[in-house]
Amino acid sequence: METKQLVTKSVIDAWTSRVDAANKIFNSLSDEDLQKEVSPGRNRGIYLLGHLAGVHDKMLPLLNFGPQLYPHIEETFLNKPDRAVSEILSAKELRAIWDAVNSKLASHFNSLTPDEWFHRHTSVSEADFAKEPHRNRLNVVIGRISHMQYHMGQVALIKK
């Protein structure tokens, strides 16, 4: 297996594994459980579900896969802290968004060649990318794996 192919497969396998683990945790929590804080005064599970769905949705344009599917969740779950907005989407709606976004990402991930993973992402200019080729699509996914894992560690506290 060629080095680029091995590296990209390793990263995408890690992504898929973390999304599957997140699904397992989210699916183990009832809608009522998602209303609980991960610890006193901290984010609720439902907010973290919306936050992760919003971050993953923003990956679509960042990786040049097209526009966000759900830009309307950005204000509530990315630009504001938990409880800053009184009315939020239901757990059922957020679960559906989470599933749809991750399905769309998986479809795009599976269509890229190993070389395409090393193309620049859309928030880096061509000039900056020439100087910093590590600012590529694959590096975005690596960062998002860490981000997802961090928040899933918080969500796991709900089931104490």
Give the residue-averaged pLDDT of 45-53: 98
* Residue-number span of the structural domain to which 85 is assigned: 3-159
Residue 1 pLDDT > 90: no
Q: List the structure tokens of 14.
A: 């890690």
Q: What residues have CB less than 8 Å from 137, skipping those under 6 apart?
A: 63, 64, 112, 116, 117, 118, 119, 120, 121
- What burial letters (b/e) apply to 25-56, b meaning 16+ CB within 10 Å? bbeebeeebbebbbeeeebbbbbbbbbbbbbb
pLDDT tens figures, 97-140? 999 999 999 999 999 999 999 999 999 999 999 999 999 999 99
Q: What is the CATH number of the domain that holds 18?
A: 1.20.120.450
The pLDDT assigned to 125 comes to 97
User: By percentage, how much of the chain surpasses pLDDT 70?
Assistant: 99
pLDDT tens figures, 14-31? 999 999 999 999 999 999
Q: What residues have CB less than 8 Å from 127, skipping those under 6 apart?
A: none
- What burial letters (b/e) apply to 90-112, b meaning 16+ CB within 10 Å? ebeebbebbeebbebbeeebeeb
Q: List the structure tokens of 126.
A: 């061509």
Is 37 strand, coil or helix?
strand
Cβ atoms of residues 131 and 120 within 8 Å: no
Q: Which among 147, 115, 113 is positioned nearest to 133, based on CA atoms?
A: 115
What is the pTM for the complete model shown? 0.96
Per the structure, the count of domains in the chain is 1
User: By percentage, how much of the chain surpasses pLDDT 90?
Assistant: 98
